[in-house]
Structure 1
Amino acid sequence: MQLIGERHYIPLSDGNKIPLMGLGTYSDPRTTPQGTAANAVKLAIEVGYRHIDGALVYYNEHEVGQAIREKIADGTVKREDIFYCGKLWNTFHPPELVRPALERTLKTLQLDYVDLYIIEMPTAFKPGETFYPRDENGKCLYHETDLCATWEALEACKDAGLTKSLGVSNFNKRQLELILKKPGLKHRPVSNQVECHPYFTQPKLLDYCQKNNIVIVGYSPIGTSRDASWVNLKCPPLLEDELLLSIAQKHKKTTSQVALRFNIQRGVVVIPKSFNPQHIKENFQVFDFSLSDTEMKEIEGLNKNIRFVELLMWSDHPEYPFHDNY
């Protein structure tokens, strides 16, 4: 696969294309200073990133949109150069709420369309103003929604020109098949955004998705923060792995760059989240080297089948996706 900086994208099944390297913009609004996301996105676009991954529930789409618009205004990019992925949150699964949710994202970004709009989780929550609705005992309030009905509402959004492509996130094989086998399916999901890195290589799901022309977008591709409130700390820090360190040394690269390159060579899109200027620059420098077949096999051998992001607080949801093998 010829992967050079200027042409680092792969085709989607609907005729559009997705850049292999994106910037993740997840942040905790309680601890992230104002303007941080905007500055990170502006720098990323200057460095060469063309794919920005965001979400309404990151509470920073206004900053991300502002950064994109500024870089368009100063002539760095045109709107069509940027690939923005937005997400439908769990409280907006009822079909009548889908378009208003996307329109809310567009209004916040101050853009006319997104390039990819995905169902963030297959787990519906009780609709309302609160993103994380709970009862008086603190238990999350779930909602019964038909994923196929939600998908039909998304199809209408694509037909209306509000999004170029449609996808899903955190879906297992069974949930993907619900959509793929839906009677009267109009637009297939082009992507499935899931956790994917050398300690969790997703071989079965990757194989299934590739056979069905669904691109895997890997989140946490270099591991994740060590925040015990939502991260599984039984999984050791990925970037300290001895094999990754030795391969990195050989290529004069960092372990992050080796982990990212590993996924890219498998045809997996990566969206490492960083607001650190040095890391934003470093993460993009993965198109000037390649891993040998032997190195790829060695890294594949690191798979522990352990998730960093288990989301166990929702494991009693009927559509919790991670009980299944894949």
Structure 2
Amino acid sequence: MAKVNIPKFKLNNGMEIPALGYGTWLGMNDKFEVKMEDLTKLVDAMSYAIDVGYRHVDTAHLYRVEPEVGLVVRRKITEGVVKREDVFITTKVWQHNHREADVEASVRASLRRMGLDYFDLVLMHWPMSISVEGVDEKIDYLDTWRGFETVLQKGLVKSIGVSNFNLSQMKRLLAHCKVVPVVNQVEINLNLGQEDLVSYCKANNVQVVGFTTFGSMVGRAAPATLQPKMDNPTMLALGKKYNKTVTQIALRYLYQRGVATIPKSISKERVLENASVFDFELDNNEMATLAKFDVGYRTEKAPFWQHYENYPFEDPGVATFEIPLSLRKWKDCDNYEFE
């Protein structure tokens, strides 16, 4: 079996995070329902990922897959493939749990669902606080952050961070926190470079972790004029030069920018391909050429949240509608029977 060797980035608390991890978000269909029909394939692909050398797994309460992710990790520990300390596991606290005490309750519930004693990293999934009824609770994310500092102090997690925070929110958080977040996880790809945010995080020793790392290149609706597509001549030429795929070029570009990535695939071939990007290097001119694809286009839009307090982005021209039920209420699997 082929193996991959994934380098690591040093976090501001001395821990190390693998530069590429396995993402476990199954995505949503056109009815805004989570694609749970792909769960078995996800479990198989994640198991394969650990076998070939992945040591970073990213999940969340929202994703509905914490029990299965925990099962795979524990099974690989039992099989002797890894030790618990070898695997960097991230989960996230959803918007319903932004009161300080609720953060701890959420983290403990995630640990219970996954059958683990601690997490390597827990993130505040969004800066907004929204109840299961869809009510904007307007809880200050600084108050929520105190709950994160508490679970860190209690040893439930080894590090804490945020997700989907914009530049001004990061500045405000760093100005008022006792513990600096180790990570800000945001959408970042060739079309959405987020240079100001990435530069600020680097200057303040906060690791950027990118999701939706292929942007609109892979199976996503986007303006026909938006480049690069999978058949973009520049990307294809670079792929031919380095004997790599277009998506591998995109991942390598982000790695050289100092961004960790968490691409998800339920294809074993793609799982191996995604992690095979550390044996070549783009030169400065090539990096500059790829940077020109950054037009500030956000692939992941959330029109149902854009008028809520603390929503971090501007989505001009995007029509709002009610928050989908699947993002407000779901079965927590607290009674999951571990195998």
The answer as to whether partners of 2:4 and 2:52 remain within 8 angstroms in 1 is no
Alpha-carbon distance in structure 2 between the residues aligned to 1:213 and 1:232: 35
The amino acid that maps onto 1:110 is: G
Report what 1:66 is aligned to: 71
1:213-240 CA distance string (max 9 Å, x none): 1111010111256466xx8888566434
The amino acid that maps onto 1:85 is: T
Report what 1:141 is aligned to: 135
3-state SS, counterpart of residue 309 of structure 1: coil
Alpha-carbon distance in structure 2 between the residues aligned to 1:30 and 1:297: 37
Q: TM-score, normalised by structure 1?
A: 0.89
State the shift of 1:201 in Å: 1.0
Tell me if 1:155 matches 2:160. no
Alpha-carbon distance in structure 2 between the residues aligned to 1:253 and 1:55: 31
1:190-219 CA distance string (max 9 Å, x none): 110011111111111111111111111010
Number of aligned residue pairs: give it: 306
Tell me if 1:169 matches 2:163. yes
Report what 1:91 is aligned to: 96
Alpha-carbon distance in structure 1 between the residues aligned to 2:168 and 2:20: 28
Aligned 1:20-35 pairs, distance under 5 A: 20-27=19-26, 28=28, 29-35=34-40
State the shift of 1:146 in Å: 1.3
The answer as to whether partners of 1:92 and 1:98 remain within 8 angstroms in 2 is yes
- Percent of pairs identical after alignment? 35
Tell me if 1:43 matches 2:48. yes
Aligned 1:1-326 pairs, distance under 5 A: 6=5, 8-27=7-26, 28=28, 29-126=34-131, 130=132, 133=133, 140-182=134-176, 185-223=177-215, 226=219, 235=226, 238-323=229-314
3-state SS, counterpart of residue 168 of structure 1: strand
3-state SS, counterpart of residue 313 of structure 1: coil
The answer as to whether partners of 2:128 and 2:141 remain within 8 angstroms in 1 is no
Q: TM-score, normalised by structure 2?
A: 0.85
Alpha-carbon distance in structure 2 between the residues aligned to 1:244 and 1:162: 43
Alpha-carbon distance in structure 2 between the residues aligned to 1:234 and 1:318: 33
List runs of 5+ in structure 1 lacking aligned partners. 134-139
The amino acid that maps onto 1:57 is: L
Alpha-carbon distance in structure 2 between the residues aligned to 1:234 and 1:43: 37
The answer as to whether partners of 2:12 and 2:205 remain within 8 angstroms in 1 is yes
CA gap 1:123/1:45 in 2 versus in 1, 3 angstroms: same
CA gap 1:237/1:101 in 2 versus in 1, 3 angstroms: farther
3-state SS, counterpart of residue 186 of structure 2: strand
State the shift of 1:254 in Å: 0.3
The answer as to whether partners of 1:20 and 1:269 remain within 8 angstroms in 2 is yes
Alpha-carbon distance in structure 2 between the residues aligned to 1:105 and 1:31: 18
CA gap 1:262/1:98 in 2 versus in 1, 3 angstroms: same
Alpha-carbon distance in structure 1 between the residues aligned to 2:80 and 2:274: 24
The answer as to whether partners of 1:84 and 1:115 remain within 8 angstroms in 2 is yes
State the shift of 1:44 in Å: 0.7
Alpha-carbon distance in structure 2 between the residues aligned to 1:223 and 1:78: 34
**CA-atom RMSD, angstroms?**
2.0
List runs of 5+ in structure 2 lacking aligned partners. 29-33, 316-339
1:231-271 CA distance string (max 9 Å, x none): 88885664343311211111110011000000001110011
CA gap 1:315/1:201 in 2 versus in 1, 3 angstroms: same
1:161-183 CA distance string (max 9 Å, x none): 1111111011011111222111x
1:112-161 CA distance string (max 9 Å, x none): 111110001111101xxx4xx3xxxxxx4221101111101100101111
Alpha-carbon distance in structure 1 between the residues aligned to 2:94 and 2:232: 34
The answer as to whether partners of 1:116 and 1:167 remain within 8 angstroms in 2 is yes
3-state SS, counterpart of residue 86 of structure 1: strand
3-state SS, counterpart of residue 217 of structure 1: strand
Alpha-carbon distance in structure 2 between the residues aligned to 1:186 and 1:15: 17
The answer as to whether partners of 2:103 and 2:144 remain within 8 angstroms in 1 is yes
The amino acid that maps onto 2:20 is: M
The amino acid that maps onto 1:15 is: G
3-state SS, counterpart of residue 321 of structure 1: coil
The answer as to whether partners of 1:84 and 1:114 remain within 8 angstroms in 2 is yes
3-state SS, counterpart of residue 209 of structure 2: strand
